[in-house]
Amino acid sequence: MADSAHLSSHASFAGLPPAWPHDVLEANRAAATTRTLVVLDDDPTGTQTVRDIAVITVWDFATLRAELSAAPRCFYILTNSRSLTPSASRSLHLELAENLRAAAAEARRPVVIASRSDSTLRGHYPLETDTLGEVLGPFDATLLMPYFEAGGRYTIDDTHYVATGDRLVPAAETAFARDAAFGYRHSHLPSWVEEKSACQTRAADVATVSLDLIRRGGPDAVAERLRALPRGAVCVVNAAAPGDIEVVAAATLAAEQRGSRFIYRTAASFVAARLGQSPHGILSPDAYRSRSPHGGLTIVGSYVPKTTAQLTRLLAAPDLAAIELHVTDLLQPGRRDTAVASAIARVNSALGAGRDTVVFTSRELITSPDAAASLEIGRRISDALIAVVQGLALTPRYLIAKGGITSSNTATRGLGVRRAIILGQALPGVPVWRLGPEARFPNLGYVVFPGNVGTDTALSDLLRQLRTG
């Protein structure tokens, strides 16, 4: 099946049925208290739509029991599984699921599972949802919802699009689809499921929830559709506006109250809709900028074109200490140690002088035809960035990590974070965490900046706000 051509976003949205006219967020807030939504996040950028929610980076039984005993509506578990090989991700999810099942039973707290992954369709699917199903299932259906408003990711007529200006570009025609580890050929999501499942699930067997049903029928009609799905079905959910995913969230809550069990493979927008959280506005820099006299630090590891464009604009900022790590050096053990030691010394000197500093990897993309080898290359480069963070001798005034894997490794390995609180967003789609007391820099505001979010000036805009806001 040929995927759709580029569309005009204005014309496409204008041609859709009117939005469901009733606000469902208040009802969602009330209904979401009876179970805990546990979001397994394959990189930390999935926290980009919520606030006042905990994120943990470990999943031993005692930690999970402690979280569930407080009966929260939601918490996140940062798995960082997108950086892993398929076998490593499977092992992680088996361990996590066993611990979660035992902890939920002892805490007597019902749980609902969301496997949060990339809104541009990169990640270990269906491996992760299938693995979770082995321990926590069976589930009545797997619901696929890659819609993400702040990133301009829309699903219309079962095809997933990435907004670029006034154009909706089929996801398979973007750079994301050429990812060395998670590339794909189809934007039509039933066909994508068939592709990713190696034909174990045929496109013709994938169910869908249409925008027409969401906008004309509302939560009751969608809930009826979900409850009528064949047992074990995969179902694609269309969404083109926040109200669409809010209606779907209301429908899932209603269906669960009547006994349905779903597993969700979603982007970030569904979680906020499910919790009944409306957009809260952008945080003031004072909410996460420390009083440290030292400079602030930005770490850039993401290689997607959006990040490179943002980095280019950031490097033009005045009085910015720019420290480049050449990836060819980082992949050679003899040169890696020298390059990292030099970067650590330069970073500490710049921060001590009160200068805002950016550490970034050179922009050449080195990959392998083998997906596992490409992941290993990425791991070795990430290890070098983490070594720089571990070498910090001073508390930065702020800390920004750019890219999903980079921000995850910076948090867990560079800063020793085990638990943090999501404060809100520094920019649309850019979450901020308050680090816990166990972290290397307790209570520091930590900006988790996704690689593929924001305008070309987003990083430089954020720097300007942190300097003057």
CATH number for the domain harbouring residue 418:
3.40.980.20
354 within some domain: yes
pTM here? 0.91
Given 235, 257, 275, the domain boundary residue is 275
Please give the torsion angle defined by the CA atoms of residues 323, 380, 399 and 46, in that order, rounded to the nearest 10 degrees: 140
* pLDDT for the residue numbered 12: 94
Asked if residue 297 is part of any domain, the answer here is yes
Report pLDDT digits (tens) over 87-135: 999 999 999 999 999 999 999 999 999 999 999 999 999 999 999 999 9
Euclidean distance between CA atoms 428 and 49, whole angstroms:
8
Residue 280, domain member (yes or no): no
In 174-204, which positions are buried (b, 16+ CB within 10 angstroms) versus exposed (e)?
Answer: bebbebbbbebebbbbbbbbbbbbeeebebe
User: How much is the pLDDT for 2?
Assistant: 45
Name the stretches of the chain with pLDDT < 70. Answer: 1-4, 367, 469
Q: Is 328 exposed, middle or buried (0-12, 13-18, 19+ CB in 10 A)?
A: exposed
C-alpha span between 114 and 125 (Å, rounded) = 13
Q: Is residue 183 part of a domain?
A: yes
CB 55 within 8 A of CB 388: no
- Does 56 share its domain with 188? yes
- Do 389 and 411 fall into the same domain? yes
Q: Are residues 387 and 347 in the same domain?
A: yes
* 149 and 40, same domain (yes or no): yes
Integer Cα distance of 209 and 190 in angstroms: 12
Same domain for 204 and 299, yes or no, is no
Query: Which of 216, 246, 275 is the last residue in one of the domains?
Result: 275
The verdict on 98 and 61 lying in the same domain is yes
222 with 349, same domain: the answer is: no
Domain range for residue 392?
285-468
In a domain, 48, yes or no: yes
Verify that 217 and 344 share a domain, yes or no. Answer: no
**Domain-located, residue 191:** yes
State residue 304's pLDDT score: 80
The answer on 204 and 153 residing in a single domain is yes
Tokens of 70: 């407080």
3-state helix, strand and coil shares in percent for the chain, rounded to the nearest 5: 40, 20, 35
Q: Is residue 69 in some structural domain?
A: yes
Q: Are residues 162 and 238 in the same domain?
A: yes
Q: Please tell me the predicted confidence (pLDDT) of residue 1.
A: 38
Do 144 and 224 reside in the same domain of the chain? yes
CA 284, 242, 237, 229 torsion-angle sign: positive
Domain of 137, CATH number, reads: 3.40.50.10840
- Tell me: do 247 and 332 sit in the same domain: no
User: Residue 3: what pLDDT?
Assistant: 61
Number of domains present in the structure of the chain: 2
- Of 445, 433, 465, 460, the closest CA to residue 396 belongs to 445
Q: Is residue 264 part of a domain?
A: yes
Domain end (from 275, 297, 319): 275
User: How many whole angstroms separate alpha carbon 285 and alpha carbon 398?
Assistant: 9
